[in-house]
Amino acid sequence: MLADDGNLARIERRILGALLALLTIFGTAVVGYRIIGGDRYGWIDALYMSVIMLTTTGTKEVVPTETAASQIFTMVILVVGATAALYTLSMLTAFVVEGDITQGFRRRRMRKAIEGMTGHVIVCGAGQTGSTVLRELVRTQRPCVVIEANEAQLEAVDVEFASIPFLHGDCSDDETLLHAGIARAGGVVICTDDDKTALVTTVLAKQLNPAVRVTARATTEKAINRLKQAGADGVVAPAQIGGMRLVSEMVRPTVVGFLDTMLRDTNRNLRIEEVTVLSGSGLEGRTVGSLPLHEQGSGLLLLAIKEASGDYAFNPPADAVVRAGSTLIVMGDPTSVQALRAR
């Protein structure tokens, strides 16, 4: 997409240059025929002569071109004007064929949308793993941007997630990350199946925005340690997750079934989410029993509280006090969670 934008911009500059040249020639022709016509012919006559000469329509001349000077002027206008018109037409054709007007404008809208984002999630890689990540981000109402180098996968993303802006480029390139708004992003999810790409992307993301949260996919045990050393806040190994899922299906099938139902229920769209309590917020200093977990029928379920020290209080009692810096772990629908975050 970045390369396409560059080509499109170059074509647009050429079109503007060609149009400017054409307008200059037209203006010169109008002034020239006004001078040639003298007092007997006005500006409308000069404008008419300029139009029929530049369009080569061949209709009757209004301003006489009987002198050698006027004939030379007319020949120059015809040759130069026709050349400029053909060049402009070729640039417009290139804009339609190479630039694809609709896609060009759409890419601009996406770029402007990305420029207006803050706290969004950048998803690097739109394969199977990346698509799953995108679905969850969409369901939980989180703004996101996609970076993908494979055009076929990008087209698939464009079909399924038409509202998500995307970049066609390499996520391990700092320029691509900057275009994705890494400086304003809240998180980066690296879904590529290449550990080296994930490692480079992690390092670049942390350099460009030290506060951004980076989670990465790893294919080997060695890659897990390297990614953590590079600054990744979370590393997921599909093989380990798959093994845990398999054994869970064997020893705790009801729990697995409940979690699957919770994630796939399109009517309720329940999720286990976290809400950080900031200093000065309406939740600070309140007891668990007085928290607005059931206002307006939201029905949020408080599962645990993570204290600022890192300790967890599972199923906290009603008289437990919520302090600034602690994180509430709740289960509910995304709308109710967002409402609690707003409090």
Contacts of 189 (CB under 8 A, 6+ apart): 121, 122, 123, 124, 130, 133, 215, 216
Looking at residues 297-309, what average pLDDT do you find? Answer: 84
Task: Choose from 176-190, 230-244, 273-287, 326-340 the range with maximum mean pLDDT.
Answer: 176-190
pLDDT at 217: 94
Flag whether pLDDT at 244 surpasses 80. yes
Distance between CA 292 and CA 286 in Å, rounded? Answer: 10
Higher pLDDT among residues 314 and 298, named by residue: 314
Percentage of the residues of the chain whose pLDDT score is greater than 90:
32
Q: Which runs of E-coded beta strand occur in 74-156?
A: 121-124, 144-148
Q: What is the pLDDT of residues 177-195, one digit of tens each?
A: 999 999 999 999 999 989 9
Q: HSE on the CB side for 90, CA within 13 Å?
A: 9
Q: Does domain 269-342 have CATH number 3.30.70.1450?
A: yes
pLDDT at 3: 47
* Residue 317 burial (CB count, 10 A): 9
Contacts of 68 (CB under 8 A, 6+ apart): none
pLDDT at 271: 81
Report which residue type is found at 46: A
Question: Under CATH, what is the fold of the domain 2-99?
Answer: Helix Hairpins (1.10.287)
Q: Which helix (H) or strand (E) holds 339?
A: helix 334-342
pLDDT at 143: 93
Q: Which two tokens stand for residue 198?
A: 């994930």
In CATH, the architecture of 105-242 is: 3-Layer(aba) Sandwich (3.40)
- The secondary structure of 195-217 as a DSSP string is HHHHHHHHHHHHHH-TTSEEEEE
CATH 3.40.50.720 domain extents, the chain: 105-242
Mean pLDDT, the chain, rounded, equals 83
The residue to which tokens 């990465």 are assigned = 216
Flag whether pLDDT at 7 surpasses 60. no
Looking at residues 62-76, what average pLDDT do you find? Answer: 72
pLDDT at 96: 65
Of 194, 139, 137, nearest to 171 by C-alpha is 194
Distance between CA 87 and CA 16 in Å, rounded? Answer: 11
Q: Which runs of E-coded beta strand occur in the chain?
A: 121-124, 144-148, 166-168, 187-190, 213-217, 234-236, 271-276, 301-306, 312-314, 327-332
Q: Residue 90: what are its φ and ψ, rounded to 5°?
A: -65, -35
CATH 1.10.287.70 domain extents, the chain: 2-99
CATH 3.30.70.1450 domain extents, the chain: 269-342
Looking at residues 162-171, what average pLDDT do you find? Answer: 90
Alpha-carbon dihedral of residues 305, 306, 307, 309, nearest 10 degrees?
A: 160
pLDDT at 329: 92
Looking at residues 48-66, what average pLDDT do you find? Answer: 68
